[in-house]
Amino acid sequence: MSDLQERAQALDSADELAPLRELFTLDDTVYLDGNSLGALPRHVPARLQDVLTREWGELRIRSWGESGWWTAPERIGDRIAPIVGAAAGQIVVGDSTSVNVFKAVVAATRLAPEGRDEILVDANTFPTDGYIAESAARMTGHRIVPVAPADVPDALGPRTAAALLNHVDYRTGRLHDLPGLTAAVHAAGAIAVWDLCHSAGALPVGLDAHEVDLAVGCTYKYLNGGPGSPAYLYVAARHQAAFDSPLPGWTSHADPFAMTPGYAPADGAVRGRVGTPDILSMLALEASLDVWDGVGVEAVRAKSLALTDFFLECVAAYVPEGRVTPVTPAAHAERGSQVALRCEDAEPVMGALIARGVVGDLRRPDVLRFGFTPLYVGFADAERAARLLAEVLAAPAA
């Protein structure tokens, strides 16, 4: 056993979160793609079976009340709240991240002081945020200003209505300064909208503490909600009364079953709803969140940084000089829970790595992406991934 393998073993033995791995369905694959699709918590299939056979099959329509279907969006939102540092009553679950970006960006322009016509958008954003923000801008008479997050403070001004930023860059794994940038946005009198897809469940977000205005995120990455599970929308309590949704569907009505022709928005998080909640996916997500019982996000963050540090160390030790370049920052304050490595022949390399049982993913054209989910990834996984990556890179090209 090499020195790094011994260290991995010792780190795993000392890891207080290590037993959580047993809560998930995993095999001997090293699964480093939980930042794309989280692994299956073992107990979810049995829960869904009950939802299907008893709640839908036997109770049918009664389940909207008796099985708590109707209130699921806010109930599950309140389960996500502590993970992202929000008090209860501010998060609603439903729709896709893209749809929630639309709600948030349009609503942000309506919360902003009148006469401001610019929306700053992270120039390196996950594309959907940019596409949707562009549509929101077109429909509200604003213009999009693409700007690297570091340059946001300089780009802010009296024309800025809102800024749409990613907490962690999906490609590089760079963690952006949510407290500092939010404060800068506020100093300019604008509204801060954060996309938490790549941070929620991996590190502390502190939505309330940092006075974020609006936020969105998906639940199928570090929250393990299942493929395409519903996203969520956070509207800070102080903005709820003025939150003016561009998608005022019937379930966000103050009295939805009155079915009145005129729209009157509900108070609170409910106002962020649109249509009928997607129950099967939503309740799979709710069950998945059970793995968080008793788990603090600070402990998750500590393990995440230890894991990515160790992986980077193993890569440096094993991989032939010059074959890969980390694009994820070395500084902890700037690192999310993934390691992205630039690699000239990334596509065949990732293919060969997956064939050897290490599942990461590729961001075209040249980024190998390794996501570390602290709930189920261990240090031996990190060592093995780096070792097999080195093997692949040492092999003659196909």
Verify whether residue 126 is a known catalytic residue.
yes
Among 13, 16, 45, 355, binds a copy of itself (CB under 8 A): 45
48 lines the binding site for a copy of itself (CB under 8 A): yes
Residue whose CB is less far from a copy of itself, 58 or 114? 58
Among 56, 208, 237, 309, binds a copy of itself (CB under 8 A): 56
Q: How far is CA 44 from CA 28, 34, 40, 239, in A?
A: 21, 17, 7, 35
Q: Which two tokens stand for residue 192?
A: 């801060």
Least separation in angstroms between CB 350 and a copy of itself: 12
Q: How far is CA 291 from CA 12, 42, 43, 155, in A?
A: 19, 10, 10, 41
The SS3 of residue 36 is: coil
Q: What is the DSSP letter of 259?
A: -
To the question of whether residue 126 is assigned a binding role by annotation, the answer is yes
Q: Which of residues 159-188 bind a copy of itself (CB under 8 A)?
A: 171
CA torsion sign for 172, 305, 93, 82 is negative
Q: Are strands 232-235 and 191-195 parallel, antiparallel or unpaired?
A: unpaired
96 lines the binding site for a copy of itself (CB under 8 A): yes
The SS3 of residue 33 is: coil
Binding residues with a copy of itself: total (CB under 8 A): 82
Residue whose CB is less far from a copy of itself, 258 or 397? 258
Q: How many residues does the chain have?
A: 398
358 lines the binding site for a copy of itself (CB under 8 A): no
Residue whose CB is less far from a copy of itself, 85 or 256? 256
To the question of whether residue 304 is assigned a binding role by annotation, the answer is no
To the question of whether residue 140 is assigned a binding role by annotation, the answer is no
Strands (E), 249-345: 325-326, 338-342
61 lines the binding site for a copy of itself (CB under 8 A): yes
Least separation in angstroms between CB 56 and a copy of itself: 5
Among 11, 20, 30, 39, binds a copy of itself (CB under 8 A): 39
Binding mask 211-230 for a copy of itself (x = CB under 8 A): -------x-x-----xxxxx
Residue whose CB is less far from a copy of itself, 39 or 185? 39
- From the candidates 171, 174, 221, 303, which is the catalytic residue? 221
68 lines the binding site for a copy of itself (CB under 8 A): no
- From the candidates 24, 31, 102, 126, which is the catalytic residue? 126
Residues 6+ apart with CB under 8 A from 388: 30, 353, 356, 357, 358
Q: Are strands 367-371 and 361-363 parallel, antiparallel or unpaired?
A: antiparallel
Among 68, 85, 146, 204, binds a copy of itself (CB under 8 A): 146
Residues 6+ apart with CB under 8 A from 71: none
To the question of whether residue 292 is assigned a binding role by annotation, the answer is no
Verify whether residue 220 is a known catalytic residue.
yes
Task: Return the closest-CA partner of residue 106 out of 285, 289, 233, 265.
Answer: 233
To the question of whether residue 127 is assigned a binding role by annotation, the answer is yes
117 lines the binding site for a copy of itself (CB under 8 A): no
Residue whose CB is less far from a copy of itself, 178 or 359? 359
Report long-range pairs for 341-346 (Cβ below 8 Å, ≥24 apart): 341/315, 341/367, 341/368, 341/370, 342/366, 342/367, 342/368, 343/367, 343/368, 343/393, 345/397
To the question of whether residue 125 is assigned a binding role by annotation, the answer is no
Residue whose CB is less far from a copy of itself, 103 or 323? 103
Q: Which of residues 258-297 bind a copy of itself (CB under 8 A)?
A: 258-261, 263, 274-282, 284
Which residue in the block uniquely carries the two structure tokens 């979810």?
44
Verify whether residue 369 is a known catalytic residue.
yes
Q: Which two tokens stand for residue 373?
A: 């989910």
Among 131, 155, 189, 302, binds a copy of itself (CB under 8 A): 131
127 lines the binding site for a copy of itself (CB under 8 A): yes
Q: What angle do CA 175, 180, 186 make, to 5 degrees?
A: 130
Rounded CA separation 193/195 (Å)? 7
- From the candidates 271, 335, 369, 387, which is the catalytic residue? 369
114 lines the binding site for a copy of itself (CB under 8 A): no
325 lines the binding site for a copy of itself (CB under 8 A): no
Q: Show which residues are catalytic.
A: 126, 195, 220-221, 369
Residue stretches of the annotated binding site for pyridoxal 5'-phosphate: 97-98, 126-129, 195, 198, 220, 250, 276
